[in-house]
């Protein structure tokens, strides 16, 4: 149904799948009730039922949005000094009108909105762990690689760091849990098409992915953690006919490309 006020008309979805390779160790923090003496106080987020580490879609989407906001000059730094922290705070964009807000969403308080949020980013699990039917595969190659390298049912490493007091030179060691370098996760992103120019906006998603490759995901980025690389990117289009029960096949647009290759030939792929 067409929205008479904004001329929105659902046309289908663009589905992006990609492998996320951890070039360095990855730490996305979880929570734990209580601490053991001598235990790790910076743990990795894990599936509570299986103990398998994963990358939350919210972490991935939030970092992509943040990087794109800075690149698009959508971050306001003209704010007052926070007297509690004695630092200047930056305010993210909530205009509801720009491409960043349209793609990644804006708060309910925004004065103007351009229809539904376009981008969904799902949680990323180890490659092969989630089967096509949604069940778990503990024989997945990534799971086996971890167990062969780290030990049975061990999927993370411990990195010990020393915090050096710059006055006394005293060391204060701390331990951080990380997913090891060269681990591979699989992510799915879904981009909804409501207006004729939405496909052009899709380019911003790949720009955000490229920015993330040269930044870091998760914690400890300035100390070496969190460098990632998107590999084997696949993009397909699922048209409205599919959701109406017709035998409309997905149209493959991109197969096994890097983010940079997609950006180079974006107009050819998405004409």
Give pLDDT tens digits along the chain (271 positions).
444 455 788 999 999 999 999 999 999 986 554 444 444 568 999 999 999 999 999 999 999 999 999 999 888 776 666 677 666 677 788 888 899 999 999 876 555 567 889 999 999 999 999 999 999 999 999 999 999 999 999 999 998 877 776 777 676 778 889 999 999 999 999 999 999 899 999 999 999 999 999 999 999 999 899 999 999 999 999 999 999 988 778 889 999 999 999 999 999 999 8
pLDDT of residue 249: 80
- Cα separation, 228 vs 212, whole angstroms: 8
CB of 232 closer than 8 Å to CB of 23: no
Q: Helices marked H in the chain — which ranges?
A: 57-71, 99-104, 141-150, 198-213, 240-243, 259-264, 266-269
- Cα separation, 98 vs 262, whole angstroms: 23
SS3 of 115-164: the string is CCCCEEECCEEECCCECCCCCECCCCHHHHHHHHHHCCCCCCEEEEEEEE
pLDDT of residue 64: 97
Domain boundaries, the chain: 12-31+40-269
CB of 238 closer than 8 Å to CB of 15: yes
Is this structure's pTM higher than 0.75? Answer: yes
Residue 183 has which token pair? Answer: 């681990």
């Amino acid at each position: 149904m067409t929205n008479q006020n904004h001329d929105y008309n659902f046309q289908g979805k663009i589905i992006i799948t990609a492998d996320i390779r951890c070039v360095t160790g990855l730490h996305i923090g979880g929570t734990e009730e209580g601490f053991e003496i001598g235990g790790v106080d910076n743990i990795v987020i894990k599936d509570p039922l299986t103990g398998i580490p994963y990358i939350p879609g919210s972490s991935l989407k939030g970092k992509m949005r943040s990087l794109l906001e800075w690149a698009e000059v959508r971050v306001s730094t003209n704010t007052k000094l926070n007297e509690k922290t004695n630092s200047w705070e930056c305010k993210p964009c909530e205009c509801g009108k720009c491409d960043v807000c349209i793609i990644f969403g804006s708060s309910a308080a925004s004065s103007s909105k351009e229809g539904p949020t376009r981008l969904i980013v799902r949680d990323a699990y180890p490659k092969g762990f989630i089967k096509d039917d949604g069940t778990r595969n503990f024989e997945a190659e990534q799971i086996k690689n971890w167990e062969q390298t780290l030990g049975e049912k061990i999927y993370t490493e411990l990195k010990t760091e020393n915090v050096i007091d710059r006055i006394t030179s005293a060391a204060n060691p701390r331990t951080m849990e990380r997913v090891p370098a060269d681990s591979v996760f699989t992510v799915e992103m879904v981009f909804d098409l409501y207006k004729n120019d939405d496909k052009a906006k899709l380019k911003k998603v790949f720009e955000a992915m490229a920015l993330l490759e040269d930044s870091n995901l998760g914690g400890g980025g300035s100390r070496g953690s969190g460098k990632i690389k998107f590999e084997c990117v696949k993009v397909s289009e699922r048209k409205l006919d599919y959701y109406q029960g017709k035998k409309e096949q997905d149209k493959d647009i991109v197969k096994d490309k890097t983010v940079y290759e997609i950006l180079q030939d974006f107009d050819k792929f998405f004409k």
